[in-house]
Structure 1
Amino acid sequence: MDTFNPPRRAFIQGALATGFALAVQPVTAGSIATDSRALDSGLAGIPLDDGILPVYFARPTARSSLPIVLVVQEIFGVHEHIRDICRRLAKLGYLAVAPELYFRQGNPAASPDIASIIKDIVSKVPDAQVMQDLDATLGWAAAHGGDASRAAITGFCWGGRICWLYASHHPQLKAGIAWYGKLEGAHDALTPTQPVDVAASLSVPILGLYGGQDSSIPQDSVERMRQALQQGQSGSQIVVYPTAGHAFNADYRPSYQVAAAQDGWQRLQAWLDSHGMQASKAADTD
């Protein structure tokens, strides 16, 4: 892990969540906890023109030229669930990096409820800023043991929408997996483009994983996205789990649906493997 002077380290620690976000408490008893054996994992900071972008990373110990997976947060930021996703991916042999994409607007982990996070933080985050921060994260990963020619992205909820948009922004990606990210929405100065707008022109193959009972992403929206994808040549696919709602992979929340989550995780691995992202699993010793 990179070393930093004490003030910088304190800033990074303060900008990233410790444990689970306040808005999701209490955490359900079945939340998955992935250990860090045989992994290098921790916090780092990426210098930008307007500050330090905090990231959480995990990678197999003493390995280089690793395929890179960018992990894009839910609205709750890079809290423990997203860190655990990074460790799960590192166990599969990837360098997984999750940047805190709200660090300029605030720390969502300290917000008391979802409505406050959306109003005070998420609604102020420009898509263009997010694309630039993900570019910087990919550059950092390539300089810290990753292979930039084998890079992919996955994202959850808010990050699922970003997954589609970043694939359009950075067509050199090998693949993406978008978990229940919104496909349609308002067009304004901060969000000028929505996933359905770029679907037909995508060149990166994206696997979309959605819940049939997700009231925030209606099935007619999913179908419009599917039809738009069929007009293009990316080979993207959408899988709908008929009985699953939103956030079905969030094992720390009541929304978790184990069958859909496990199937989605298997599909993620198969999708990465079939699109040039093969990795060697990290050795895991007791």
Structure 2
Amino acid sequence: MTTPDTRHDNPQFDSLLPAARLDRRGFVTTLAAAGFALAVQPVHASTLITTDDSKLTTGDETIDVNGDRLPIYFARPAEATGRLPIVLVVQEIFGVHEHIRDVCRRLAHQDYLAIAPELFFRQGDPSKLESVAEILQEIVAKVPDAQVMADLDACADWAVAAQGGDPEKLAITGFCWGGRITWLYAAHTARVRAGIAWYGRLVGTPSSNTPLQPIDVADRLNAPVLGLYGGQDQGIPLEGVQMMQEALRKAGSPSTIHIYPDAPHAFHADYRPSYRREEAEDGWKRLLEWLSSHLG
């Protein structure tokens, strides 16, 4: 496997990012109900780490899902031979912005076919809204888990049919909102072989669109999931993480959760002040080891 060309090119990055406009109601909604980081809106044009697309095939496509056209971004090694292991990359609440695309390119440099679908495309475009509270209320709350599962299934099918993906080597990773989806998808389909969930919500109140939380499916995961969580995450308290750890233990699950004691929420998001280089790099190393171990 090859190593991507990355750079840490802005040592003053934390001080340059604009704060999101977030009212008190949005603050409470975010912490109590969703567990999302509050720091900033996504920066589309400038991420701290930039992975080039040399020796890769990358692009934007659309996939038919029951008559809808699901937009996706994909990246794969350009000269790969044979079927490629597939990794579905699930967005944060901010959509498939440059950071998520960069994650796909990093995976492609490691000989994976990475696909990031725009899972909110029916409900709206997060980049058009001005605050986390608006995104949560106007878009995220309206996205049914069942719709997301169907879209991810369609991506897995497309990967095999259109890009030569290996149907026996399917994995998923997701960040924040996508971390929660990672746990749920591992329980949704027997096709998935591995999951890596970055600081996704684990417990919560059910709703019509989100009837189950990860803790509810801890005993029915079809594949081992590696959870990566921050000990200083104000939106996902350690108590909830420990409850999930206990649920996994009782289920006899091979899944595991690693906690970084000093890390906040979104410690892997290199376009936000929450980014912690040491923890992010260690988490990425663990991700690659988890994929290699379970996909071969």
Residue 263 (structure 1) aligns with: 282
Q: 2:269 aligns with which of 231, 237, 250?
A: 250
Note the C-alpha offset of 1:114: 1.0
Residue 201 (structure 2) aligns with: 182
Residue 85 (structure 1) aligns with: 103
Distance 2:167 2:136 in 1: 33
Distance 1:81 1:240 in 2: 23
**1:123 aligned onto 2:121:** no
Work out whether residues 31 and 252 of structure 1, in 8 Å CA contact, stay in contact via their aligned partners in 2: yes
Unaligned 5+ residue runs, structure 1? 1-21, 279-286
Between the two proteins, the alignment pairs up a number of residues equal to: 256
SS in 1 for 2:218: helix
Deviations 1:192-238 (A, max 9, x none): 00000001222310000000000100001000000000122330000
Q: Letter of the aligned partner of 1:205 in structure 2?
A: P
Give me the TM-score of the superposition, normalised by structure 2.
0.84
Distance 1:91 1:232, change over 3 A: same
Note the C-alpha offset of 1:182: 0.2
What stretches of structure 1 move > 6 A for 4+ residues in a row?
A: 27-30
Residue 83 (structure 2) aligns with: 65
Unaligned 5+ residue runs, structure 2? 1-19, 21-39
SS in 2 for 1:213: coil
Work out whether residues 177 and 268 of structure 1, in 8 Å CA contact, stay in contact via their aligned partners in 2: yes
Give me the TM-score of the superposition, normalised by structure 1.
0.86
Where does 1:111-190 land on structure 2 (aligned, <5 Å)?
A: 111-143=129-161, 144-190=163-209
SS in 2 for 1:24: coil
Work out whether residues 200 and 230 of structure 1, in 8 Å CA contact, stay in contact via their aligned partners in 2: no
Distance 1:58 1:177 in 2: 18
Distance 2:46 2:188 in 1: 39
Note the C-alpha offset of 1:28: 10
Residue 283 (structure 1) aligns with: none
Work out whether residues 89 and 116 of structure 2, in 8 Å CA contact, stay in contact via their aligned partners in 1: yes
Note the C-alpha offset of 1:181: 0.1
SS in 1 for 2:219: helix
Distance 1:49 1:33, change over 3 A: same
Work out whether residues 203 and 214 of structure 2, in 8 Å CA contact, stay in contact via their aligned partners in 1: yes
Q: Letter of the aligned partner of 1:65 in structure 2?
A: R
Q: 2:292 aligns with which of 261, 273, 283?
A: 273
Q: 1:103 aligns with which of 95, 98, 121?
A: 121
Deviations 1:76-103 (A, max 9, x none): 0001000000000000000000000000
Distance 1:163 1:27 in 2: 24
Q: 1:42 aligns with which of 38, 42, 59?
A: 59
Distance 2:42 2:85 in 1: 34
Deviations 1:132-157 (A, max 9, x none): 00000100011112101101000000
Distance 1:25 1:96, change over 3 A: closer
Work out whether residues 58 and 90 of structure 1, in 8 Å CA contact, stay in contact via their aligned partners in 2: yes
Q: Letter of the aligned partner of 2:125 in structure 1?
A: N
Work out whether residues 41 and 57 of structure 1, in 8 Å CA contact, stay in contact via their aligned partners in 2: yes
Distance 2:238 2:142 in 1: 28
Segment of structure 1 superposing worse, 265-274 or 225-234: 225-234
Note the C-alpha offset of 1:172: 2.4
Distance 2:123 2:92 in 1: 15
Work out whether residues 28 and 252 of structure 1, in 8 Å CA contact, stay in contact via their aligned partners in 2: no
Residue 222 (structure 2) aligns with: 203
